[in-house]
Amino acid sequence: MPVRKGQLPPEIRELFADDGEGRSLGVELPEGAAVWPDPNFERRREHRRPAFWLSDDPVSGELWARLRAEHPVSGLWPLLLEESVQPWSIGQIAPDTAAEIDNFRAGDFMDEVWADWVEQADKDQIGNLEPFGPVSPGLAEPGTLVAEPGVVADWYARVLSRNGTPLGLVAADRGADALAVMGWQGAINHNEWTVPLAAVLRSWEERFGVRVVGAGFNTLELSVAAPPASGLHALHVAAEHWTFCPDSIIQGPGTLEDYAEQIRGKHAWSFWWD
């Protein structure tokens, strides 16, 4: 049966540590079910409740937008989860608490990834990081909002939903925390733990008006309300993207300068990990 609007039903309440006390949902949901971590999954962590709720069928971008607007009262962050036949639909997930994210800072993560890669790279590879070279440039300056972040997120959800995408709902205070809370493992070949990546997403929310809209097996889709407008700013942001998802640059345009041109002024960032 569909989940009707009003107080949270049991299968949604159990996503919350406090049983969703004081939460409500003013949107009727399609049929779906809570997803529990598989106890046999090798990366599973102790988790005493479902990690998220997943719809049985694809949903519209309009429904995503209504749920995003409901987030302050529902505590549920919506995600377009590509397709239901994925590791998450059978519990191959490793949920963490949002409190873990507080222990990480985006700038520290960037500097560490940069230094580790440079230590193993040859001279030609380091050349691809020009004009920064072997020293991390640190975090870029914030962008300037050109639209309200929620409006841009709703637009991008409508774009992504054309692919026929099921809905995930995660009990998270902010979208940046959702991937870690649901236990998404899409970047495992780059970083074994999603929590530090969530810290980066928090920083992007604050500096670039980013909103987490969708994810796939090894992909991530973000809307951007304050993209870099100048070439130099885009280049600095490209350096951040490189430490967050090297494959987007290395197996894409190849250099930071070429990648910077791809993201300059763009209202959506897409990432793919090999």
Q: What is the pLDDT of residue 120?
A: 80
Q: What is the pLDDT of residue 46?
A: 62
Which of 196, 188, 31 has the alpha carbon at shortest distance from 103? Answer: 196
Q: What is the pLDDT of residue 49?
A: 87
Q: What is the pLDDT of residue 43?
A: 58
State if pTM tops 0.75: yes
Q: What is the pLDDT of residue 48?
A: 77
User: Which residue shows structure tokens 């490793």?
Assistant: 94
Predicted confidence pLDDT, tens digits, the chain (274 residues): 465 566 788 889 999 999 999 999 999 999 999 999 887 765 556 667 899 999 999 999 999 999 999 999 999 999 999 876 677 777 788 899 999 999 999 999 999 999 988 888 776 667 777 888 788 999 999 999 999 999 999 999 999 999 999 999 999 999 999 999 999 998 888 888 999 999 999 999 999 999 999 999 999 999 999 999 999 999 999 999 999 998 888 888 778 999 999 999 999 999 999 8
Q: What is the pLDDT of residue 252?
A: 80
Q: Is 258 left (phi over 0), alpha (psi -120 to 50) or beta?
A: alpha
* Alpha carbon distances (Å) from 18 to 13, 14, 46, 148: 8, 8, 17, 31
A 10 A CB-CB count for 274 gives: 11
Contacts within 8 Å (CB) and 24+ apart, 121-130 = 128/249, 128/250, 128/254, 128/255, 128/256, 129/239, 129/242, 129/256, 130/255, 130/256, 130/257
Q: What are 38's two structure tokens?
A: 């598989």
Q: What is the pLDDT of residue 45?
A: 60
